[in-house]
Chains A and B, each alone.
Chain A
Amino acid sequence: GAGVSQSPSNKVTEKGKDVELRCDPISGHTALYWYRQSLGQGLEFLIYFQGNSAPDKSGLPSDRFSAERTGGSVSTLTIQRTQQEDSAVYLCASSLSSGEETQYFGPGTRLLVL
């Protein structure tokens, strides 16, 4: 299909391990977003890319979280030394450009930290 794809769909890891989550945006979309959905916090913004640049990293909860985007396409969200509170669904979205354009979401990666 032509939608946003994310991998893996589910990830179980042990506390302290690093994890990488991947997002493939819709072809031609220059803006890419990461959000986190957890029971206690609802839907939270993490980071936004325009092209390969991340002008807004304000939502990253700690320095254990980082993200990169290469070739203006695929993005990877990395969580180092995972903690149990990192357990959540990580959602990726893309839009034609930044600003008010509609964001289209992927199916998410369900992360469980034991």
Chain B
Amino acid sequence: AQKVTQAQTEISVVEKEDVTLDCVYETRDTTYYLFWYKQPPSGELVFLIRRNSFDEQNEISGRYSWNFQKSTSSFNFTITASQVVDSAVYFCALIPLNAGNMLTFGGGTRLMVKP
């Protein structure tokens, strides 16, 4: 069975601060994929990134960056210079390659960015 833990249920920052959202996962599979989704107040889950277990390179996309560390089973997400529009619930999720097709989600982290 898979498990994804997002220990931070809620984070509040002031605009322009950097913020890191933690994600720790458990799986027995050697090949798996990790995802981050954003859920703004409108409710739709928006895909942000997909990373496979063999690629531990960090990734940067604009103000977003992701740090994947297999040794600690973590896939953390950092927003640099946060903006009010970043306010949302962020979900980390995992899917193993050969053990089903369902995403296992963490509980989500609600990020509030204040002006």
Contact = CB atoms under 8 A, between A and B. Distances in A.
Interface stretch (A15-23, A41-49, A69-77, A78-86): A41-49
B42 to A, nearest CB: 7
Contacts of B35: 102
Interface residues of B, number: 25
Contact of A59 (B43, B47, B52, B102): B102
A45 B93 CA distance: 12
Nearest to A106: B44
A107 B102 contact: no
A105 B42 CA distance: 13
Interface in A7-61: 31, 33, 35, 42-43, 45, 48, 50, 55-56, 59
Interface in A76-108: 89, 91, 93, 98-100, 102-108
B101 A105 contact: no
Nearest to B37: A105
Given A33-B101, A48-B101, A104 B47 contact: yes
Interface in B6-64: 32-33, 35, 37, 42-47, 50, 52
A80 B42 CA distance: 28
A56 B50 contact: no
Interface SS of A by simple majority: strand
Contacts of B84: none
A56 B103 contact: no
Given A45-B102, A100-B50, A102-B50, 13 more contacts: A33-B101, A43-B108, A45-B103, A48-B101, A56-B100, A89-B43, A99-B95, A99-B98, A100-B32, A100-B33, A103-B47, A108-B43, A110-B43
Interface of A: 31, 33, 35, 42-43, 45, 48, 50, 55-56, 59, 89, 91, 93, 98-100, 102-108, 110
11 contacts: A31-B101, A33-B103, A43-B105, A43-B108, A45-B104, A56-B102, A103-B103, A105-B44, A105-B47, A106-B44, A107-B42
